[in-house]
């Protein structure tokens, strides 16, 4: 039985909504903070999925996105390092189409069924941009999802699948552009989603002797809320069967969207419930997924979609969002220009920068970050074991708020944090409200983009208040 052994999701904390001055739309959409992108959200979803799971079991990772920060340079390898996965694993980026998430699921299933891998982590993450305030901007949100696909110990079985490949330019983005384009609405809708998704779903039902009534929930892609409802009617689903597409709370999260709706459905599913999933883009992927005995247990210990959607803060101004996306430049404090990081130094320091290892002395047990050769406590030389600190809870020892560093979120909060079990870090704190800061406050680690310079996207761990 091939299926889902674990799931996780990530929705950024911030929203554009009716309280956001200058946004002008009533629906809320989730927007990645200035230091987040599809890589960082992928890591967050992966961490949520792997909570309580021995990470050394994972023997493959697929990263599905339309918004990889690099055109040449794999995202999956970076995510695998941040998640501290083994080296002897397979990895791939599944990219360039909204259907990438559901397609990666197919690839993982096939590998597991073929017996070439036991556990494959599928992560879909997207952080798309559209021209400000247009229809696409209104409908899009940012988010990520992770599924651990396995043969043994699964909590939901992937029963059947069906796929269509259908070339068309309805929504696209050239490699030299940052915002998504689309053709005339009526063409995009009538000849795109409203033609292809029902065609694929009906062929899937016929092939597997299934009917809409056999499903408790349908989780599927659409361009917006109105077409989502129209699609339900065309496919023969009652309103109660339709998984809330969260258009008014999260928005269409691109390649991650259908799998995020699947996780939202699994969060409420009972044993035996059947969920239809459909991903769209240059064709359509359709799945039937059936919740098994372990579904209640799986729900515990993962934040998933619901908790992330609830733990939010609505931005006060649309200007702030424009600054985050680099669409509006504002005068800052006069400071020296940062140069690009050294690729060789980044490679050498992968253990501390990406894997976030500290070292623990075998002689005295003292934990220190970053890794040291000579122990700060007992001075033993080369007696260190790596310890991963990225998933350790921590508390604030002291903090400061920098009003002059010229970062995008002034004041920049610098916090000295102590990890449970030992280890200390001088961290930047993100996703924080200045009023909530205190000595002793609990924090957790979040992988973030520090800056981009010299064509290098530089990532590191920051602290954040505990999200949920």
Partner 1 sequence: MTEGIKDRVAIVGMGCTKFGERWDVSGLDMMVEACYEAYEDAGLEPKDIQAAWLGTVASFNTGQPAAEALKLDYIPITRVENACATATDAFRNACYAVAAGIYDIVLAVGVEKLKDSGFAGLATGVQSGSGVEPPSPPPVQFALAATSYFHKYGLSYDEGKRVLGQIAVKNHHNGALHPKAHLRREITLEQVLKAPMIAWPLGLFDCCGVSDGASAAIITTPENARKMRDDYVLVKGLGVAVGGRQGMLRDDYDFVHFPENLAAARQAYDEAGITNPRQEIDLAVVHDCFTITELIIYEDMGFSSRGKAKEDVESGVFTLEGDLPVNPDGGLKCFGHPIGASGLRMIYEIYKQIQGKAPGPPERQLKKADIGLTHNLGGRPGSFTCSVAIFGRRD
In the complex, least distance from residue 462 CB atom to partner 1, rounded to whole angstroms: 8
Place of tokens 């400061």: 400
Beta bridge partners of 93: 63
Q: Does the protein bind partner 1 through residue 342 (CB under 8 A)? A: yes
In the structure encoding, which two tokens stand for residue 103, read together? 């397609």
Under DSSP, the state recorded for 193 is I
Q: Does the protein bind partner 1 through residue 451 (CB under 8 A)? A: yes
CA distance 306 to 20: 22
CA distance 228 to 232: 7
With contacts defined by CB under 8 A, name the span among 10-18, 40-48, 207-215, 424-432 that binds partner 1. 424-432
With contacts defined by CB under 8 A, name the span among 54-62, 69-77, 312-320, 329-337 that binds partner 1. 329-337
In the complex, least distance from residue 464 CB atom to partner 1, rounded to whole angstroms: 14
Are residues 282 and 99 in contact, defined by beta-carbon separation less than 8 angstroms?
yes
Q: Which of 93, 341, 389, 441 binds partner 1 (CB under 8 A)?
A: 341
Q: Does the protein bind partner 1 through residue 401 (CB under 8 A)? A: yes
With contacts defined by CB under 8 A, name the span among 8-16, 130-138, 221-229, 423-431 that binds partner 1. 423-431
Q: Which of 123, 218, 428, 445 binds partner 1 (CB under 8 A)?
A: 428
Q: Which of 114, 337, 436, 455 binds partner 1 (CB under 8 A)?
A: 337
Q: Does the protein bind partner 1 through residue 414 (CB under 8 A)? A: yes
Q: Which of 335, 362, 363, 381 binds partner 1 (CB under 8 A)?
A: 335
Who contacts 344 (Cβ-Cβ below 8 Å, separation ≥6)? none
Q: Does the protein bind partner 1 through residue 386 (CB under 8 A)? A: no
With contacts defined by CB under 8 A, name the span among 11-19, 109-117, 184-192, 418-426 that binds partner 1. 418-426
- Interaction with partner 1 in 366-385: which residues (CB under 8 A)? 368-369, 372, 376-377
- Of 5 and 392, nearer to partner 1 (C-beta) is 392
Beta bridge partners of 345: none
Helix (H, G, I), strand (E, B) or coil at 136: helix
Which residue stretches of 238-348 are H helix? 257-266, 295-299, 306-310, 318-324, 343-348
In the complex, least distance from residue 140 CB atom to partner 1, rounded to whole angstroms: 30
Helix (H, G, I), strand (E, B) or coil at 462: strand
CA distance 5 to 61: 14
What does the CA dihedral 73, 169, 324, 222 come to, rounded to 10 degrees?
Answer: -110
3-state secondary structure 259-273: HHHHHHHHCCCCCCC
In the complex, least distance from residue 461 CB atom to partner 1, rounded to whole angstroms: 9
In the complex, least distance from residue 427 CB atom to partner 1, rounded to whole angstroms: 7
Among residues 32, 34, 8, which one has the least CA distance to residue 451? 34
The region that residue 379 occupies, defined by phi over 0 for left and psi between -120 and 50 for alpha, beta otherwise, is: left
Q: Does the protein bind partner 1 through residue 403 (CB under 8 A)? A: yes
Q: Does the protein bind partner 1 through residue 364 (CB under 8 A)? A: no
Number of residues that bind partner 1 (CB under 8 A): 49
Q: Does the protein bind partner 1 through residue 206 (CB under 8 A)? A: no
With contacts defined by CB under 8 A, name the span among 130-138, 143-151, 235-243, 399-407 that binds partner 1. 399-407
Place of tokens 């739309």: 25
Q: Does the protein bind partner 1 through residue 346 (CB under 8 A)? A: yes
Among residues 260, 104, 287, which one has the least CA distance to residue 201? 287
Give the burial class of 412: count Cβ atoms within 10 A of its Cβ; 0-12 exposed, 13-18 middle, 19 or more buried. middle
Beta bridge partners of 171: 182
In the complex, least distance from residue 458 CB atom to partner 1, rounded to whole angstroms: 6
- Of 217 and 448, nearer to partner 1 (C-beta) is 448
Which residues of this protein are in contact with partner 1, per CB under 8 A?
Answer: 334-342, 345-346, 348-349, 353, 368-369, 372, 376-377, 397-405, 407, 411-412, 414, 416, 418-419, 422-428, 439, 450-451, 453, 458-460
């Amino acid at each position: 039985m091939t299926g889902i052994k674990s799931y996780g999701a990530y929705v950024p904390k911030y929203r554009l909504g009716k309280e956001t001055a200058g946004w002008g739309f009533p629906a809320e959409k989730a927007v990645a903070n200035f230091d987040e992108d599809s890589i960082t959200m992928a890591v967050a979803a992966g961490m949520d999925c792997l909570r309580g799971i021995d990470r050394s079991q994972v023997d493959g990772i697929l990263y599905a996105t339309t918004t990889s920060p690099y055109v040449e340079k794999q995202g999956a390898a970076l995510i695998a390092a941040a998640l501290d996965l083994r080296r002897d694993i397979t990895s791939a980026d599944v990219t360039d189409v909204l259907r990438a998430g559901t397609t990666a699921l197919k690839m993982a299933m096939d590998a597991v069924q073929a017996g070439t891998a036991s556990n494959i982590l599928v992560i879909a993450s997207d952080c798309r941009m559209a021209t400000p305030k247009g229809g696409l901007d209104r409908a899009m949100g940012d988010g990520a999802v992770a599924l651990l696909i396995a043969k043994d110990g699964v909590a939901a079985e992937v029963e059947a699948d069906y796929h269509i490949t259908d070339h068309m330019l309805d929504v696209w983005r050239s490699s030299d552009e940052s915002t998504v384009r689309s053709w005339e609405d009526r063409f995009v809708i009538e000849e795109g989603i409203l033609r292809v998704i029902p065609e694929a779903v009906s062929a899937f039902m016929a092939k597997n002797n299934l009917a809409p009534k056999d499903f408790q929930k349908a989780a599927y892609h659409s361009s917006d809320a109105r077409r989502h409802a129209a699609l339900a009617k065309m496919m023969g689903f009652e309103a109660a069967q339709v998984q809330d597409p969260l258009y008014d709370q999260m928005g269409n999260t691109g390649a991650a969207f259908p799998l995020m709706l699947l996780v939202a459905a699994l969060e409420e599913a009972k044993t035996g419930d059947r969920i239809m999933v459909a991903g769209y883009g240059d064709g359509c992927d359709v799945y039937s997924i059936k919740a098994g005995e372990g579904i209640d247990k799986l729900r515990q210990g993962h934040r998933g979609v619901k908790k992330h959607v609830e733990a939010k803060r609505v931005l006060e101004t649309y200007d702030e969002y424009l600054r985050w996306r680099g669409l509006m430049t504002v005068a800052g404090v006069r400071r020296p220009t940062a140069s690009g990081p050294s690729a060789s130094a980044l490679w050498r320091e992968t253990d501390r920068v990406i894997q976030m290892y500290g070292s623990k002395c075998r002689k005295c047990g003292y934990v220190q970050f970053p890794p040291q050769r000579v122990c700060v406590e007992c001075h033993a030389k080369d007696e260190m074991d790596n310890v991963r600190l990225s998933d350790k809870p921590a508390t604030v020892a002291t903090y400061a708020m920098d009003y002059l560093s010229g970062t995008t979120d002034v004041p920049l909060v610098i916090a000295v944090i102590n990890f449970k079990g030992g280890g200390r870090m001088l961290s930047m704190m993100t996703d924080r409200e200045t009023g909530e800061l205190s000595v002793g406050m609990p924090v957790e680690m979040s992988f973030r983009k520090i800056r981009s310079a010299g064509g290098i996207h530089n990532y590191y761990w920051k602290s954040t208040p505990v999200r949920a």
